[in-house]
Structure 1
Amino acid sequence: MGSLQAKLVFLILLQASCNIIATKDEEWKTASATYTKETDGSIITEGACGYGDLHKISYGKYSAGLSSILFNRGSTCGACYELRCVDHILWCLQGSPSIILTATDFCPPNFGLSADYGGWCNFPKEHFEMSEAAFAEIAEKKADIVPVQYRRVKCERRGGLRFTVSGSSHFYQVLITNVGLDGEVVAVKVKGSKTGWIPMSRNWGQFWQSNVNMKGQPLSFEVTTSGGRTLTSYNVAPANWEFGQTFEGKQF
């Protein structure tokens, strides 16, 4: 009886293990990926999210342009994805190594070409456009396009959230970068020494705006990510802050 019980326990544990593996595999979704040969293209130097020089904010070659359905009008900017090349014996590197990419750019559709040849970012295709260096870490550069699997992962960042202030006295704007955990900012509030908390609206990408004149006041920010986490950084910018400056707050 003891032996039978042991076998039953083993089978239960084995089934549980299989369920765990299956659940983990279900987290991966299918897509496709290409790369750009432009060393100064928007994926590397700026991107549709408005981050500016991506090397300066540490995203660099691990930046990606997303097709329309993934980019979601810029709300996905800053999110992190794990990618691996799959199901192609000629182009995928052995062992299916994976890389972590940050969504920084938009891959526009090309409706003049079919979704299978050139129109890879046409709706509703799920597609990643990568830098040549990042692509070479998962696939042979000879490939024009490869099948990939992807999943959202937490972003690991060094240092705190960065707030870059721009605009004018009647149009105040802040770009938020280096966001950890979800990486994807969905709500922002700003507070001066003379105001309460003021909700900011998304201008585009991760630019957030307010029409309140905040000059001469120290600035505090409340940032909420797509996962529902909220972080408050008090007095990030001193009272004498100037447009064009970047300030560092707390990190998730």
Structure 2
Amino acid sequence: MAPGSSSRQQATLLASVLVLLKIAGLPGLLGGYYGSGGGNAGGWSQAHATYYGGSDASGTNDGACGYGNQISAYGTLTTALSAPLFNGGDTCGACFELKCASDGCLAGQPSIVVTATNLCPQGSNGGWCDSPKQHFDLAQPAFGQIAQIQYGHVPLLFRRVSCDRSGGMHFQINGHQFFNLVLVTNVGGAGDVQSVEVKGSSSGWRKMERNWGQNWQDGGNLCGQSLSFRVTTSDGRSITSYDVAPADWQFSQTFAGGQF
């Protein structure tokens, strides 16, 4: 036998075994979906899901992201996130693809894409939303598209995906003369806004501060000026929407800008 042939044979045998294990679908051994730390294979991670809000999803409105009427903004495919996923509101507006992973799944294991619009607080659903758990508390119509409602709770696989939006980003201007509160919605791409800047037609660019959720504030007097906004999302991409609000804009009005 040639020198080293035994080692080469052992290496070949080991490689064959690993291929067979992968084909057999043993993710625990190969660090797949359920590897240490929750696992991540092919972009999917492990979590659980429950639902809230009733069959018409009306109970999901006025959540922690500040969207108000979430059904009007994002329909019924929305979710509240446990604190580790919510990240203090930074994840508001992000999109996730979800699919049921065990008992209670609908036939064919369909997947859905949902928008993060709310926080699932600590102690909710028997502790499923407690840190450090990754948990999705779905609007009931969303839950019903991947699992049987009577189960109420199912294991889940999830991954971040791009948000597919049309009609431009929406800027709703609230507040009063020296307190401008701008709600940013309908954001495509990464979806979660990380910074907002505002510019009046007679003033320079100013960085706005996050007030709560996706409400951004500025303390200047912007009345009587046309307004431009620069929005940056969590992936570092920015879009500048010039003069989206005309000089005669009024508080409570909403204007559409560019789109990722």
Which of 145-154 and 124-133 deviates more?
124-133
Larger radius of gyration: 2
Q: Secondary structure at the match of 2:70?
A: coil
The 5 A counterparts of 1:178-189 are 178-189=186-197
The answer for unaligned runs of 5 or more in structure 1 is: 1-14, 112-116
Amino acid at match of 1:139: A
Amino acid at match of 1:182: A
Shift of 1:26: 3.6
1-structure distance, mates of 2:175, 2:139: 31
Shift of 1:40: 5.3
User: In structure 1, what is the equivalent of residue 65 of structure 2?
Assistant: 49
Shift of 1:142: 0.9
Shift of 1:54: 1.7
1:60 to 54, 75, 84: 75
User: In structure 1, what is the equivalent of residue 100 of structure 2?
Assistant: 85
User: Any conservation in 1 of the 2:57–2:140 contact (CA below 8 Å)?
Assistant: no
Which of 150-159 and 48-57 deviates more?
48-57
What's the TM-score once normalised by structure 1's chain length?
Answer: 0.85
Deviation digits for residues 4-63 of structure 1 (CA, Å, limit 9, x no counterpart) = xxxxxxxxxxx9xx9xxx8993410100000125345542x2211111112222x12101
Percent identical among aligned pairs is 50
User: In structure 2, what is the equivalent of residue 99 of structure 1?
Assistant: 112
Shift of 1:110: 1.0
2-structure distance, mates of 1:231, 1:33: 34
What's the TM-score once normalised by structure 2's chain length?
Answer: 0.82
User: Any conservation in 1 of the 2:208–2:218 contact (CA below 8 Å)?
Assistant: yes
User: In structure 2, what is the equivalent of residue 6 of structure 1?
Assistant: none
Which of 32-41 and 140-149 deviates more?
32-41
Which of 131-140 and 96-105 deviates more?
131-140
Shift of 1:194: 1.2
User: More relative contact order in 1 or in 2 (CA 8 Å, sep 6+)?
Assistant: 1
How many correspondences in the alignment? 225
User: In structure 2, what is the equivalent of residue 27 of structure 1?
Assistant: 43
Q: Secondary structure at the match of 1:142?
A: helix
Shift of 1:94: 2.0
Matched, 1:151 2:159: yes
Q: Secondary structure at the match of 2:149?
A: coil
User: In structure 1, what is the equivalent of residue 7 of structure 2?
Assistant: none
Amino acid at match of 2:98: L
Deviation digits for residues 170-221 of structure 1 (CA, Å, limit 9, x no counterpart) = 1111000000000010011000011110000100100000111100000000
1-structure distance, mates of 2:59, 2:243: 33
Q: Secondary structure at the match of 2:127?
A: coil
User: Any conservation in 2 of the 1:42–1:105 contact (CA below 8 Å)?
Assistant: no
The 5 A counterparts of 1:1-252 are 25-38=41-54, 39=56, 41-43=58-60, 45-57=61-73, 59-88=74-103, 91-110=104-123, 118-252=126-260
User: Any conservation in 2 of the 1:167–1:173 contact (CA below 8 Å)?
Assistant: yes
Inter-CA distance 110–171: structure 2 relative to 1 (3 Å threshold): same
1-structure distance, mates of 2:175, 2:222: 11
Q: Secondary structure at the match of 1:70?
A: helix
Deviation digits for residues 128-152 of structure 1 (CA, Å, limit 9, x no counterpart) = 1112111111111110210000000
Deviation digits for residues 52-91 of structure 1 (CA, Å, limit 9, x no counterpart) = 112222x121010000110011110000000000022xx0
Q: Secondary structure at the match of 2:210?
A: strand
CA RMSD between the two structures: 1.9
